[in-house]
Amino acid sequence: MSVAAITAGTAPARADARHCFPRAPISVADYQSVTDRRDVNFGVGDITSVVKLPDGRRFFALGDTGYYDLNGDGSAGPLKGFGNNSAWVQSGNCVTLLGSAGPGTRSWVLPPQQDGSFYWPGASVVVGARLYVFMQRLVMNTTFGTSVGAAVAAFDLPSLKLSRLTPIPWMEKRVFGEGAVYDGGYVYTYASQARTCGFCFAGDMYVARVPESQIMVPSAWRFRSGSSWVSDRNAATPVLRAAVSNTDVQRYGNGFLLITKTVSIIGPPVEAWWAPNPEGPWRDLGTVYSVPSPPPARVSGYSYHQAYTYNPVVLANTRLADGGLLGSYNVNSFDPAESQRDGRMFGPRFVSIRVPAPPSAPPRPASSPGISPWIPTFAVDGAGRVRTLGGGAGFDRSYTAHAVAVARTPTALGGWIAAADGGVFAYGDAKFYGSMGGVRLNQPIVGMAATPTGRGYWLVARDGGIFAFGDARFYGSTGSFRLNRPIVAMAASPTGGGYWFVASDGGIFSFGDARFFGSTGGAPPYFPVSGMAATPDGRGYWLVTIAGQVYSFGDANYEGNAPLPLAAICIGILAAPGGYRIVDTAGNVFGRAIVQSRNRIATPTPFVAAG
């Protein structure tokens, strides 16, 4: 089966991938009518989290999502598509499926990976103009799969364009990101870990936190242990014992509400807990809903025999007409024949949940989220001076008279400058991890890329020789090859597990987990290529020439060339939410997705690289 990457915001949703009501939904029946709709264009899957966006829209993250028509007797028709992640957005009286692009396999964030693993979404949390969705990477080698990693997907608001996908700290038995809240400048994430005792079905709850501006920096994460936060994830201790199967946490009053099904699959009770702080102490508010066991079939006269329910969630800021909060739980079966006979069986069941009023507590201190770390564009001139294009502080110090590349830290509060002789210079919050300065090189350095953690970087030479520092690893090079044209730039994969080189004729060389998606090497552009950038999900890339022509490959969307006439040479291209930015030697920044016109920064000498 071929796999197509469908990314949020890639194209407008089809009219038949939308469900509209005569008025805004106000009842369980209204929302259930969305779930009960099954056709090849409107996918339905397990709801893993629900959040309200700043503009009032509601965002539903869904896991395993099927696309099929219903037969006349209510059974499922042939499966036309399947994805492990999708999303709905409710705006007013319509619910739209994001990323639907016609028949075939769908996937909203990422399709199955090259190694056969896939991403399954967990918690969603809004921070200012950003939406974070936590993702668990799984391989389906058991009934429920085996966890092999975790990541956080960041989306720009209000466009819901994917900005980056970054690996986060991970443990196989305790995956943080099942629940998440933002408070006081930190993102708090929750994990449940199953107890290993006989006949124990409930799990313990753990919590981690990280400054939102450093969510993609593993060394910035801290884990709750007793009354303190520690850097060793193995030293974490439960903040709630033997009480959770999932960890849906959100703001409620002046504190935080936890909704969980205490005994996964087997028990019907849904419990509510409340705490004045994200880490606790947690107070049991009692059972707020009892899931039917077994849940009622959607086909008249039919009964389930091996169905199970799981993952209750509630949207604490959405009241229904009956006064309850909008909630849901998911239904599936150990017997595939049951979901075939009842085509509406699997997926969410919406319910009205009545939760006790939040206990009194002092107001939480307000915090203002900082700017998005992917907004700044750094450029360096020949004297090694850095400017933050499009606004923001620069660094007036001259680091080297032979600057050729610049890369920034994940926080965008600093970065590194590379010189042609292999020297590396760190500025802002960047740390120095080594260089080739003082070492005789076969060819000069021409490009640089940082690892996703910001704790390492690569340098690439004109002949494709690669030099790795910090936590950057060597995955191969073209240093021993005879190249048709010299290497001019490089880009790293989002995982840090690979990289690409591009030659001046547009030839692409991929190493590690960086995949080849095409090149212009067989039909070189008239003007030489000067830069490249990878898409946030690593399944595509852009090339730019010195004349501002852009070539896109894989899932990289084409947004146009730099506008003519050009007054300067284009030196680089960078990924941005929903698109890219092009930078020239004069400090002009072009990019429809972010910058509508030229943003020029006066500089004594022309810029030579951007990052």
Q: List CB contacts of 177: < 8 A, sequence separation 6 or more.
A: 122, 123, 134, 135, 136, 150, 152, 168, 189, 190, 191
Region of 189 (left: φ > 0; alpha: ψ -120 to 50; beta: rest) is beta
Task: Of 4, 3, 7, give the one whose Cα is nearest residue 536.
Answer: 7
**Residue with the larger pLDDT of the pair 254 and 266:** 254
| Alpha-helical regions (H) of 265-399 | 336-341
Q: What confidence score (pLDDT) does residue 316 get?
A: 84
User: Bigger pLDDT: 587 or 34?
Assistant: 34
- pLDDT computed for residue 26 by the predictor: 92
The pLDDT, as a whole number, for residue 555 is: 84
User: How sure is the predictor about 258, in pLDDT bands with cuts at 50, 70 and 90?
Assistant: very high
Residue 16's pLDDT is what? 56
pLDDT digits (tens, 9 = 90+) for 389-422: 765 556 778 888 899 999 988 888 889 999 999 9
**Measured between alpha carbons, how far is 562 from 573 in angstroms, rounded to an integer?**
10
444-477 per-position pLDDT tens digit: 999 999 998 889 999 999 999 999 999 999 999 9
The helix or strand, by DSSP H or E, that contains position 310, with its residue range, turns out to be strand 307-319
Q: What is the pTM of this model?
A: 0.85
> For the chain, what is the mean pLDDT?
87
Q: Rounded distance, CA 489 to CA 504, Å?
A: 9
Q: Which helix or strand (DSSP H or E) is residue 32 part of? A: helix 28-35
Q: Give residue limits of the domains in the chain.
A: 15-353, 377-610
When the candidates are 2.130.10.10, 1.10.1740.10, 3.40.50.620, 1.10.40.50, the CATH number that belongs to 377-610 is 2.130.10.10
User: 102-127: per-residue pLDDT in tens?
Assistant: 445 566 777 777 677 888 999 999 99
Kind plus residue range of the DSSP H or E element containing 224: strand 222-225
What pLDDT, on the 0 to 100 scale, is given for residue 365?
Answer: 86
pLDDT grade, residue 7 (50/70/90)? very low
pLDDT of res. 8 = 28
Residue-level pLDDT at 589: 86
- Residue 312's closest CA among 252, 247, 358? 247
- Out of 3.40.109.10, 2.115.10.20, 3.30.70.360, 2.60.40.1180, the CATH code matching 15-353 is 2.115.10.20
CA-closest candidate to residue 518, choices 547, 483, 490, 556: 556
- Average pLDDT on 208-231 reads 92
Cα-flanking dihedrals φ and ψ of residue 16, to 5°?
-85, 5
> pLDDT for 283-327, tens place per residue?
999 999 999 988 999 999 999 999 988 989 998 888 999 999 999
Q: How many Å apart are CA 261 and CA 245, to the nearest integer?
A: 6
Highest mean pLDDT among 36-45, 371-380, 540-549: 540-549
- Bridge partner residues of 351 (DSSP): 327
β-bridge partners, 554: 540
The residue-averaged pLDDT of 349-363 equals 93
What's the rounded mean pLDDT across residues 523-551? 92
Name the burial class of residue 300, with classes exposed (0-12), middle (13-18) and buried (19+) by CB atoms within 10 angstroms of its CB.
Answer: exposed
Q: With the CA atoms of 357, 362, 363 and 366 taken in that order, what torsion angle do they form, in degrees rounded to the nearest 10? A: -140
- The full length of the chain comes to 611
- pLDDT band for position 10 (cuts 50, 70, 90): very low
Per-residue pLDDT of 62-105, as tens digits, reads 998 989 999 999 999 999 888 889 999 999 999 988 864 444 55
Query: Residue 593: pLDDT above 80?
Result: no
